[in-house]
């Protein structure tokens, strides 16, 4: 496996340039060193942003019982609270491409980080369930737009390293998820047992992610893409006249676009902004797009049930609160190594279905363990469910592989994530209702196991080697 991986890393990539006055000066004086610095800064932006995309959820899961007691929530209301993330992702995620076309992807993600920081700082002190939900929605709005735009930015700036950069982004996301699950309870205890302080501390991490994006907001570099140049009158080159920033660019599993014979390969400007004006395809005509959307929705259902309720399952089985938080952290931290390995492996395979099946089997075994012996084999079940949760980075990778172009990825990402998160909304809520009315976890775990079967089926269909452009037409 290491041989193909190494070959991917050795591909060359023309580093991006930055628009605006600063970029003009850089082209005159800074040259390649400035462009390399911009690329490194963008990588830092991606990693810091990824770290902030799940602490709002897993920090709450670790302290859900304390929050319920503090705010007087019933089990059904707590189920509604765990359904707010996919609802916000569906509602606000669909707006991300339009916002990026108008303001630039960098500006939108930067604003998203600001929304996360503000929402997380406010919600513990909002003074009631309604205020808590409203502040959570503000933070989740920032997460939603960043969720959609990250695959677009990765595909556009690193078109020949989609697997590697998606893996890096997914590792950061998994690390932030696990860190929040593991640290929130001990920090709350250290601060006198205040759940408000334990939740509010994650606003600082989001605030730290705002700063690196600011150069891209001013220069609109992330919006205009790597090296999108302006003609003398300031009009940007048409996307059709631009070429990719590498000699050969992956467009699917194991396929490359190469220059036509006899055509001179010159250093041309890189592709135009993926979120800017481009012909739109009728994506609802694509069976692959629908399969990917349903797969995304079902894996999101499993993920948000896990993040919202798994610690409570262990606590109800007699596991101490601190240990339950560590078990949730183990589930989340499994995504750190696997989120890097799975996308790279997926880009090497002509069909990603076998990976989908392997992850699904791990999930079924983990759910069976939770049902039969939740406390006795807690660490094993947490580990297996952590492997199953790596369907998320696989879904992100398939978004980049099932479309050939930047605009195609932007449209597919918005469609798959918005539709998928809509599909996932009832799951956490239904688990809360079943838990409250049945008085135990038997029915909720049975539901979670049953949903894994269609996830495996549609994931197999989404993993076939084809593109939405071919299916949907223009």
Per residue in 416-468, pLDDT tens?
Answer: 988 998 898 888 888 888 988 888 899 999 999 999 999 999 999 999 998 88
- Taking the C-alpha atoms of residue 139 and residue 192, their distance in angstroms, rounded to an integer, is 25
3-state secondary structure of 250: strand
pLDDT (mean) for 272-286: 64
Average pLDDT, the chain: 78
- Taking the C-alpha atoms of residue 137 and residue 56, their distance in angstroms, rounded to an integer, is 10
Measured torsion, CA atoms of residues 206, 209, 214, 220, in degrees rounded to the nearest 10: -100
- Taking the C-alpha atoms of residue 20 and residue 458, their distance in angstroms, rounded to an integer, is 44
- Taking the C-alpha atoms of residue 173 and residue 383, their distance in angstroms, rounded to an integer, is 17
pLDDT (mean) for 196-206: 90
pLDDT over 90 (residue 290): yes
- Taking the C-alpha atoms of residue 9 and residue 103, their distance in angstroms, rounded to an integer, is 32
The pLDDT, as a whole number, for residue 243 is: 31
Q: Which of 126-130, 226-230, 256-260 has the highest mean pLDDT?
A: 126-130
User: How many angstroms separate the Cα of 257 from the Cα of each of 230, 246, 319, 404?
Assistant: 25, 10, 54, 10
- Taking the C-alpha atoms of residue 411 and residue 73, their distance in angstroms, rounded to an integer, is 38
Cross-strand partners of 250 = 256
The pLDDT, as a whole number, for residue 32 is: 66
- Taking the C-alpha atoms of residue 428 and residue 382, their distance in angstroms, rounded to an integer, is 18
- Taking the C-alpha atoms of residue 327 and residue 382, their distance in angstroms, rounded to an integer, is 6
pLDDT over 90 (residue 238): no
Single pTM value for the model: 0.65
Contact present, 298 and 451 (Cβ < 8 Å)? yes
Cross-strand partners of 256 = 250
The pLDDT, as a whole number, for residue 268 is: 37
Say which residues have a Cβ less than 8 Å from residue 7's Cβ, sequence separation at least 6: none
The pLDDT, as a whole number, for residue 274 is: 47
The pLDDT, as a whole number, for residue 126 is: 84
DSSP secondary structure code for residue 159 in this structure: T
| Total Cβ atoms within 10 A of residue 261 | 5
The region of weakest confidence among 54-68, 152-166, 259-273 is: 259-273
The pLDDT, as a whole number, for residue 19 is: 39
3-state secondary structure of 166: helix
DSSP output for 377-390: THHHHHHHHHHHTT
**Selection from 303, 306, 338, 304 nearest residue 324 by Cα:** 306
The pLDDT, as a whole number, for residue 388 is: 94
The region of weakest confidence among 264-273, 307-316, 323-332 is: 264-273
3-state secondary structure of 256: strand
- Taking the C-alpha atoms of residue 430 and residue 322, their distance in angstroms, rounded to an integer, is 26
Classify residue 357 as exposed, middle or buried by CB count within 10 Å of its CB (0-12, 13-18, 19+).
Answer: middle
Contact present, 342 and 355 (Cβ < 8 Å)? yes
pLDDT over 50 (residue 161): yes
């Amino acid at each position: 496996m290491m041989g193909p991986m190494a070959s991917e890393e050795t591909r060359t990539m023309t580093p991006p340039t930055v628009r605006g006055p600063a970029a003009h000066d850089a082209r005159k004086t800074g040259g390649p060193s400035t462009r390399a610095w911009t690329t490194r800064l963008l990588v830092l932006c991606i990693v810091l942003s990824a770290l902030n995309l799940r602490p709002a959820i897993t920090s709450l899961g670790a302290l859900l019982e304390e929050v319920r007691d503090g705010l007087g929530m019933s089990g059904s209301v707590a189920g509604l609270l765990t359904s707010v993330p996919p609802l916000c992702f569906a509602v606000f995620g669909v707006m991300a491409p339009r916002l990026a076309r108008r303001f630039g992807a960098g500006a939108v993600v930067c604003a998203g980080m600001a929304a996360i920081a503000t929402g997380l700082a406010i919600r513990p002190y909002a003074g009631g369930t309604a205020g808590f939900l409203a502040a959570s929605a503000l933070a989740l709005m920032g997460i939603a737009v960043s969720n959609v735009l990250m695959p677009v930015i990765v595909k556009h700036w690193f078109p020949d390293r989609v697997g590697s950069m998606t893996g890096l982004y997914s590792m950061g996301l998994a690390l932030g998820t696990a860190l929040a699950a593991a640290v929130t309870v001990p920090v709350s205890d250290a601060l006198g047992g205040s759940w408000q302080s334990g939740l509010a501390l994650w606003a600082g991490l989001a605030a730290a992610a705002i700063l690196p994006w600011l150069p891209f907001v001013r220069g609109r570099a992330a919006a205009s893409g790597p090296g999108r140049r302006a003609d003398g009158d300031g009009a940007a080159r048409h996307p059709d006249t631009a070429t990719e920033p590498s000699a050969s660019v992956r467009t699917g599993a194991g396929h490359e676009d190469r220059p036509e014979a006899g055509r001179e390969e010159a250093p041309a400007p890189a592709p135009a902004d993926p979120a800017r004006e481009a012909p739109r395809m009728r994506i609802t005509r694509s069976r692959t797009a629908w399969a990917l959307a349903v797969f995304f929705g079902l894996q999101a259902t499993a993920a948000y049930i896990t993040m919202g309720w798994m610690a409570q399952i262990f606590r109800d089985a007699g596991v101490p609160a601190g240990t339950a938080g560590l078990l949730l952290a183990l589930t989340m931290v499994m995504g750190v190594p696997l989120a890097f390995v799975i996308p790279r492996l997926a880009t090497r395979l002509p069909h990603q279905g076998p990976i989908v099946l392997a992850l699904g089997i791990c999930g079924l075994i983990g759910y069976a363990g939770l049902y039969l012996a939740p406390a006795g084999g807690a660490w094993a079940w947490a580990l297996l469910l952590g492997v199953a949760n790596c369907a998320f980075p696989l879904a992100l990778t398939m978004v980049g592989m099932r479309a050939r172009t930047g605009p195609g990825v932007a449209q597919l990402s918005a469609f798959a994530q918005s539709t998928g998160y809509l599909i996932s909304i009832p799951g956490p809520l239904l688990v809360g209702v079943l838990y409250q009315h049945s008085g135990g976890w038997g029915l909720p775990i049975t539901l979670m196991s049953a949903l894994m079967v269609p996830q495996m089926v549609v994931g197999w269909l989404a993993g076939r080697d084809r593109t939405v452009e071919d299916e949907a037409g223009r």
